[in-house]
A and B are shown apart, each in its own frame.
Chain A
Amino acid sequence: MNETHHPTPPDLEDSRLSALYQKSRLEEPAMRLDSVILTRARHAVEKKTLLWFKEHWLVPLSSFALAMLTVSLFIQMKQERPDVIAPATRAPSIQAKEHLKDDVQMKEYPASEVRRKSREGRTTAAPARASVPEMKQESAGKAIAPAAEGIRTQQRGQRQRTNREDVQPGNIQGFTEAPENAPLSSGVTNKASATEKPGVWIERIRLLIKQQKKEEAIRELNMFRQTFPAYKLPDDLQQFMH
């Protein structure tokens, strides 16, 4: 742009010609041409803006959206099924707390749910909680991570096995009318006796006495006392306690 302008020589300048020509400057392009060119210019800018957006923002934005989706799914899963996310990594103290929490929750669940839970292995490392949220998740969650799905399938299998055990006649009798003060499992060595109704157990002890199996009857009676310390023994069995 730095240029030297020489003065125009007089033979190259004719003011009268120039003035006359300036008066002739009337022609303008048609409005249709204006419209075509301005539209083209506008489209070129919009296209460039779109292209610029694609080049600069599409990949980062997609990655961010994907990350947000993953994190939100993880958080949701963690809230609904904390045991599914990472059961092995949690400290034993936390697991113990959850057992306590389970006990508290069980009081709020229907009696059949409590019975089922008590029958499921309480001493197993990973408690298979068939909680209400799990059922919700099963119906809603198709977008669950494959690892979590695998764990859930395992648990479902375990639950089915447990349910099959429930169907057996011996287990159906179980604990249906257990007194409220009766402990569920602590100090019990004979699981079959522990899960018996006190009345049934008493009748079994009477049968042993009738069959002259006195030692065995006394052993059963002691076990009964340990299991149900608050249960008042019938008078006919009181004598065997001393």
Chain B
Amino acid sequence: MVTINELTDEKLMLGYRDGNIRAFEQLYSRHKGGLYRYLLRSCDSRAIAEELFQDVWASVIKARSSYEASARFTTWLYRIASNRLTDYYRKTGKWDQYIEQADENSADCPVSPPYKQPEHQSDINQQIQRLLQCIEQLPLLQRQVFLLKEEAGMKLEEIARSLASNREAVKSRMRYAIQKLRLCMQAEA
């Protein structure tokens, strides 16, 4: 017999759609951390991230009756989150900046040298803090692509679907993001 822990996200969501609250609890516990960090690192403040986090889950709850397992649950969840982020940036007038940063040309991006590998725990903590600072400095679209890969474990196609974009654009943004992070980390070292 399959336990609730072994069920896929899609089956859990279908279970919740049919009135099983345990399925939702399981689904929430699986995705709350990743989604929260994705929102936290994609916007300006913790308060806004929390507000958006609640908003995304409220949308999931509201849309449960129309949910069909035609795509991965994660893709659907992060699509809602990305839409909420877009709405937030548009509302606060930061959308233009968001687009400009994302449209950088790959030719402007220098090839980054390999950065020094940390040896001690204190070094690791420093490196983590540095990485988070570097992520914050990334243009928003590149940041989103990187975070979706790391937090939701998505492939390029899934990221493209979540961001309502195409695979090539996502691939390009990912390349920029990696190069910039390497450069940023090397500069610190």
Residues of chain A contacted by B167 (CB below 8 angstroms): 6
Separation of A23 and B123 alpha carbons in the complex (Å): 13
- Is B50 in contact with A30, judged by CB distance below 8 angstroms? yes
Nearest opposing residue in chain A for B114, CB measure: A16
B178 contacts partner chain A, Cβ-Cβ < 8 Å: yes
Q: List residues of B (121-169) whose CB comes within 8 Å of A's CBs.
A: 124, 127-128, 131-132, 135, 150-151, 155-158, 167
A47 to chain B, nearest CB (A): 11
- Is A21 in contact with B174, judged by CB distance below 8 angstroms? no
- Is A28 in contact with B36, judged by CB distance below 8 angstroms? yes
Nearest opposing residue in chain B for A3, CB measure: B157
Residues of chain B contacted by A37 (CB below 8 angstroms): 28, 54, 57-58, 61
A174 to chain B, nearest CB (A): 78
A36 contacts partner chain B, Cβ-Cβ < 8 Å: yes
Partner of A20, one of B19, B61, B131, B171: B131
- Is A42 in contact with B21, judged by CB distance below 8 angstroms? yes
A11 contacts partner chain B, Cβ-Cβ < 8 Å: yes
Separation of A20 and B69 alpha carbons in the complex (Å): 33
- Is B37 in contact with A25, judged by CB distance below 8 angstroms? yes
Partner of B19, one of A24, A30, A48: A48
- Total number of B residues with any Cβ neighbor in A under 8 Å: 50
Nearest opposing residue in chain A for B27, CB measure: A41
A interface, how many residues as a size bin?
Answer: 35 or more
Q: List residues of A (157-176) whose CB comes within 8 Å of B's CBs.
A: none
B54 to chain A, nearest CB (A): 6
Q: List residues of B (63-83) whose CB comes within 8 Å of A's CBs.
A: 64-65, 69-72
- Is B32 in contact with A28, judged by CB distance below 8 angstroms? yes
A126 contacts partner chain B, Cβ-Cβ < 8 Å: no
- Is B28 in contact with A21, judged by CB distance below 8 angstroms? no
Question: Taking A14-B182, A20-B127, A30-B50 as contacts, is the C-beta distance between A25 and B33 under 8 angstroms?
Answer: yes
Question: Taking A44-B64, A45-B16 as contacts, is the C-beta distance between A36 and B54 under 8 angstroms?
Answer: yes
Separation of A13 and B33 alpha carbons in the complex (Å): 23
Residues of chain A contacted by B25 (CB below 8 angstroms): 38, 41
Question: Taking A22-B150, A24-B131 as contacts, is the C-beta distance between A8 and B156 under 8 angstroms?
Answer: yes
Question: Taking A17-B181, A27-B40, A44-B61 as contacts, is the C-beta distance between A38 and B28 under 8 angstroms?
Answer: yes
Residues of chain A contacted by B181 (CB below 8 angstroms): 14, 17
A84 to chain B, nearest CB (A): 50
Partner of A1, one of B70, B115, B128, B171: B70
Separation of A33 and B3 alpha carbons in the complex (Å): 26
Q: Which residues of B contact A (CB under 8 A)?
A: 16, 19-21, 24-25, 28, 32-34, 36-37, 40, 50, 53-54, 57-58, 61-62, 64-65, 69-72, 115, 117-118, 124, 127-128, 131-132, 135, 150-151, 155-158, 167, 171, 174-175, 178-179, 181-182, 185
Sort A-B residue pairs by CB-CB distance and give the 8 closest, nearest first: A29-B36, A37-B57, A24-B128, A41-B24, A12-B174, A44-B61, A21-B150, A5-B155
* Cβ contacts A to B, 19 pairs, < 8 Å: A9-B175, A11-B178, A12-B171, A12-B175, A14-B182, A16-B117, A17-B182, A18-B150, A21-B150, A24-B128, A24-B131, A25-B33, A25-B37, A29-B50, A30-B50, A34-B32, A37-B28, A44-B64, A45-B16
Known: A12-B171, A14-B181, A37-B61. 13 other contacts (CB 8 A): A8-B155, A9-B171, A20-B118, A20-B127, A24-B128, A27-B40, A28-B36, A34-B32, A36-B54, A38-B28, A44-B64, A45-B21, A45-B24
